[in-house]
Amino acid sequence: MFDGKLEVRKASDHSLVMRGIEEERLLKLQGTSARAKHFSYNSHYEEGTLPSSLLWHARFGHLNYDSLRLLKKNDVAVLPTIPRKLKQCDACILGKHNKQYFHDSHSRAHRKIELIHLELCGPMPIPSTNGNRYMMTFIDDYTRMCWVYLLKNKSDAFQTFKNFHKWIENDAQSHIGSIRTDNGKEYTSNEFENYLRQHGIKHQTTVPYNPK
């Protein structure tokens, strides 16, 4: 694109396929092609990859076929005749898929610090005044009380948990039953797991690559 004028060229040989212009921040393709009369776009395959209708559907950003027919009707000469019955586009089908939703959980702890949720966030692009770039949170499932610790390094997570463990059990006069974390290496190291076993704390982890 140069000075408000657009040229669409084939990647294989850079031959000109279509021209267009920019009007009011929109790119408008003109209905003639410099080489349309020299090519047949009605062949079953274009450049050995996709059926021509699917190829142009993909080139226009997976535009629906009715709109492609409208473009063809308005003299965009390079477009093939779009048949009424077409093979479905796999990319469009996958793009419209969605996961089944998660049901609300009604499982809650029955006492203070029976279950603690841990999360580590960072590194932050801008450190705090004291040079901290990580934030570690502890949330009690029963009371929903949250404690936040600022860390300089990710490797400080284990020591921070040990400090929190000693303080919260002394303060609450109870023991931590379970913790729930993601599968981060700061929580699944041998050192961390051994510490949990020594103190009788169960470790629950979330399902990888899931939002909940």
More confident residue, 126 or 84: 126
Residue 45, pLDDT above cutoff 60 = no
189 contacts: CB under 8 Å, gap ≥ 6: 158
What confidence score (pLDDT) does residue 68 get? 83
pLDDT score, position 135: 95
Q: What is the pLDDT of residue 81?
A: 77
Label residues 81-98 b or e (16+ Cβ within 10 Å = b).
ebeeeeeebeeeeeeeee
pTM: 0.55
Antiparallel, parallel or unpaired: β 146-151 and 134-140: antiparallel
Rounded CA-CA distance 164/56 in Å is 60
**What is the per-residue pLDDT for 212?**
57
On the question of pLDDT at 13 being above 80, the answer is no
CA 79 to chain centroid, in Å, comes to 33
Going by pLDDT thresholds of 50, 70 and 90, the confidence category of residue 71 is confident
- Sequence-separated (6 or more) residues with CB below 8 Å from residue 64: none
CB neighbours (10 Å) of residue 144?
A: 9
Residue 25, token pair as written in the block: 């921040």
Indicate whether 65 pLDDT > 60: yes
Note the pLDDT of residue 91: 82
What structural domains does the chain harbor? 5-95 (no CATH), 115-205 (3.30.420.10)
Q: What is the pLDDT at residue 40?
A: 37
Tell whether the model's pLDDT for residue 48 goes beyond 50. Answer: no
User: What per-residue confidence (pLDDT) applies to 35?
Assistant: 44
Which of the residue ranges 1-15, 84-98, 107-121, 165-179 would you say has the lowest mean pLDDT?
1-15
pLDDT attached to residue 211: 63
Tell me the residue type at 196.
L
pLDDT for the residue 198: 95
State the average pLDDT over residues 12-21.
76
Q: Is pLDDT larger for residue 200 or for residue 2? A: 200
CB 179 within 8 A of CB 203: yes
pLDDT at 49 over 50: no
pLDDT at 194: 96
H or E segment to which residue 29 belongs: strand 26-29
CB atoms within 10 A of CB 176: 23
178-208: per-residue pLDDT in tens?
A: 999 999 999 999 999 999 999 999 999 988 7
- pLDDT at site 157: 94
178 neighbors 140 (Cβ within 8 angstroms): no
